[in-house]
Amino acid sequence: MGRYIIQRVLEAIPLLFLVTVATYFIMNLAPGGPLAIYLHNPHVTQSQLAILARQLGLNQPWYVRYFRWLWALLHGNWGYSYFTGQPVIQLIGERLPNTLILMSAAFTVALALGIPLGVYSAVRQYTPFDYSFSFLSFFLWAMPSFFFGLLLQIIFAVKLGWLPVAGMYSNFAPPSILELLRHLILPTLVLGLGSLAGWSRFMRSGLLEVIRQDYIRTAEAKGLSQRRVIWKHAFKNALLPIVTIIGMDLPSFFGGAVITEEIFSWPGMGRLFLSSLNDRDYPVQMAILVISAALLIFGNLLADLAYGFLDPRIQYR
Amino acid sequence: MAITTQIATQEAFETLQEPRSSSHFWRRFRHHRLAMVGLGILAIMILISLFAPLLTSYSPTAPNLAQTLLPPSAAHPLGTDDLGRDALSRLMYGGRISFLVGFGSTIIAITIGVIWGAVSAYLGGIYDRLMMRFVDLVMSFPVIFLLLIVLNFTGSHASVWLMVLYLGLFGWTGLSRIVRAQVLSLKNLDYVEASRAQGAGPLRIIFRHILPSAMAPVWVSATFGVGSAMLAEASLDFLGFGLQPSIPSWGNMLDAAENYIVSHPVLILAPGFAITLAVVALNFVGDALRDALDPRSTTGMSRIG
């Protein structure tokens, strides 16, 4: 197990390195480049542009520029926003926590409701609950998250007025945990319900598969209560494939976060990313690509470790 | 969700090693009532979008500024949008865009994914490691971020074919993993060994002998992939980085209607439910395909979904 953990961590490091190479490569394809803002300025001559390019190191070959960028990145210098002039690391530092709040809330809701609902649906297979929940999850899964978000806004914020339409805190009340929670409810539902639907369905089918195995029949034959058979004997084995699925599902949280933050004006990294696209703010885009990929790799690493923890048979090849 | 389903199908098919007879498959598939419902919904939606010019006399694109934001009426059953275009006509034509993007990008994704996965597994060794590392790398990025960046490079407002291309180019990685796993489990079986002994070349072995048996999970995953691509396209439209606003796609309709969410909710509800219905129908079919192709599904696993 210890060897497995170390191997997994060691595998993640070169991948992270490749991520920075790929990011640099992609952003090098961007039209314009750092000097684009000067190109149409009549006061900037061709020779001045050449001097600027030399000062900024743009005349160097790409691999030299890449390693200088990587070196700076590793030392906490993430460059400066073309648009606001602020250090990128500061911009990200302001936004990333908000995104992580939203994501962890959605993740927690999806996990805490999806898994038990899936188990319940499997135990009550072919009952009205099972049918209606399965049907509902089909729709939640298929509904575009922005459409779902707009519906929730119409119903709960505009018509009923129970919850705020958008934002993270109220303009009319001092910021407090309670205000944050009130503003968090709708975005969390939008971001979390799709995964909730998916995970509960996999939990259901996974458990249905496990409870047909012989060792479960043995446990039942011993006279154990159904609760004990399900939770003590079947659940852990059925959970194994779900862990992989949850790990693979993490990218959808990033995509979902961009859309959710946009609908609910949530001041997170996703909206920062969208505005950096509109502003052609390449340093910010690069930083967000690297950070989101790093978070994804880390998430998958955690999922692998959870898998190894749940399944003691696992051995690193 | 796409990846989720790919993993699930991959796991479901790891045990599948011999080709199953197609009549057996059709019998199981037809027994799945929801799948038939799904196919029916898809057929109707595709037919409506194809025959839209016969069903409506309004143009889906030409603005009519004298008739903006009309409420639903006999002449305009869903009213008109902010530029005075008949919402029902745009909805019908919008199906063309959605299905074209969904199926078109999935065809590209299957082509790349199958070739990549099969070659990687067949060659093995260092080639396999390098090719799969590349897949790992692409999958390390949230796909929507990459899509947004390249769409933004080309000036944000893409044509339909560019959208098809991009979604295909960024959508094949999961499929390639499935195909690789399948080919790995098949390539050392006796019948493959036999054809190798008979002197068949690697291309012939891959395409004639291995892939036909390896494709079942690919079709399942691709069915879900069509729906995911349709959702992705609509999301990109909605974020303002997708198709040109004049193109009558469901995502563009939703994007334009966002400002009239309170006064004209039908402009949001109609395209929103159209996408949802199409994706639900595709997922019904995908679920049934999985059940019909998965030998373990006699246990009733994921029967109704």
What mean pLDDT comes out for the span B269-282?
A: 94
Share of chain B above pLDDT 70, in %: 87
Closest of B131, B113, B115 to residue B202, by C-alpha? B115
Separation between Cα atoms, residue A219 and residue B79, nearest integer Å: 62
Q: Looking at beta carbons, which residues of chain A come within 8 Å of B38?
A: none
What mean pLDDT comes out for the span A175-191?
A: 88
Q: Looking at beta carbons, which residues of chain B come within 8 Å of A153?
A: 261
Distance from CA of A299 to the nearest CA of B (A): 10
Task: Report how far Cα B85 is from the mean position of its chain's Cα atoms.
Answer: 28
Q: Which has the minimum average pLDDT: A9-13, A305-309, B215-219?
A: A305-309
3-state secondary structure A164-211: CCCCCCCCCCCCCHHHHHHHHHHHHHHHHHHHHHHHHHHHHHHHHHHC
Mean pLDDT across chain B, nearest whole number? 83
What mean pLDDT comes out for the span B222-237?
A: 93
Select the more confidently predicted residue: A13 or A174. Answer: A13
Residue A180's pLDDT is 87
**Phi and psi at residue B295, in whole multiples of 5°?**
-65, -20
Pinpoint the alpha helices (H) of B20-172. Answer: 22-30, 33-50, 52-55, 87-123, 125-140, 143-153, 160-169
Q: How far is CA B199 from CA A190, A242, B189, B190, B194, in A?
A: 57, 43, 16, 14, 9
Q: Is the pLDDT of residue B19 over 60?
A: no
* Model confidence band, residue B21 (pLDDT cutoffs 50, 70, 90): low
What mean pLDDT comes out for the span A98-122?
A: 93
At B46, is the secondary structure helix, strand, or coil?
helix
Residue B3's pLDDT is 47
What mean pLDDT comes out for the span A71-78?
A: 89
Residue B120's pLDDT is 94
Residue A210's pLDDT is 85
Q: Looking at beta carbons, which residues of chain A come within 8 Å of B302?
A: 201, 204-205, 208
Separation between Cα atoms, residue A300 and residue A251, nearest integer Å: 10
Chain A residue with Cα closest to B279: A142
The verdict on A297 touching B (C-beta cutoff 8 Å) is yes
Separation between Cα atoms, residue A265 and residue A269, nearest integer Å: 11
By the 10 Å C-beta count (0-12 exposed, 13-18 middle, 19+ buried), B125 is classed as exposed
Distance from CA of B150 to the nearest CA of A (A): 8
Q: Is the pLDDT of residue A84 over 90?
A: no
Distance from CA of A156 to the nearest CA of B (A): 12
The verdict on B140 touching A (C-beta cutoff 8 Å) is yes
Q: Looking at beta carbons, which residues of chain A come within 8 Å of B1?
A: 141, 194, 198, 249, 252
Buried b (16+ CB within 10 A) or exposed e, A111-131: beebbebbbbbbbebeeeebe
Contact A258 B145 (CB under 8 A): yes
Distance from CA of B174 to the nearest CA of A (A): 10
- Least CB–CB distance from B137: residue in A19, A262, A288: A19
What is the Cα Rg of chain B in Å? 22
Report pLDDT digits (tens) over A200-226. Answer: 988 888 888 888 888 888 888 888 888
Contact A145 B3 (CB under 8 A): no
Q: Is the pLDDT of residue A6 over 80?
A: yes
The verdict on B170 touching A (C-beta cutoff 8 Å) is no
Q: Is the pLDDT of residue A7 over 50?
A: yes
Q: Is the pLDDT of residue A128 over 60?
A: yes
Q: How far is CA B294 from CA A15, B38, B176, B254, B300, in A?
A: 34, 19, 19, 38, 11
Residue B300's pLDDT is 31
The verdict on A141 touching B (C-beta cutoff 8 Å) is yes
Report pLDDT digits (tens) over B183-205. Answer: 988 888 888 888 888 888 888 88
Interface of A with B in 185-244 (CB under 8 A): 194, 198, 201-202, 204-205, 208-209, 212, 241, 244
The verdict on A260 touching B (C-beta cutoff 8 Å) is no
Q: Is the pLDDT of residue A278 over 60?
A: yes
Select the more confidently predicted residue: B214 or B251. Answer: B251
- Least CB–CB distance from B280: residue in A138, A204, A293: A138
Cβ-based neighbours of A58, under 8 Å, separated by 6 or more: A33, A34, A35, A52, A65
- Helix (H) or strand (E) segment spanning residue B268: helix B266-293
Report pLDDT digits (tens) over B124-165. Answer: 899 999 999 999 999 999 999 999 999 988 875 789 999 999
Calculated CA dihedral for residues A275, A280, A281, A286, nearest 10 degrees: 100
What is the Cα Rg of chain A in Å? 25
The verdict on A147 touching B (C-beta cutoff 8 Å) is yes
What mean pLDDT comes out for the span A59-65?
A: 85
Q: Looking at beta carbons, which residues of chain B come within 8 Å of A255?
A: 142-145, 235
Residue A163's pLDDT is 85
The verdict on B47 touching A (C-beta cutoff 8 Å) is no
Interface of B with A in 224-253 (CB under 8 A): 227, 231, 234-235, 238-239, 241, 251
Contact A150 B261 (CB under 8 A): yes
Cβ proximity of B137 and A23 under 8 Å: no
Distance from CA of A306 to the nearest CA of B (A): 17
**Phi and psi at residue B70, in whole multiples of 5°?**
-75, 145
Distance from CA of A25 to the nearest CA of B (A): 12
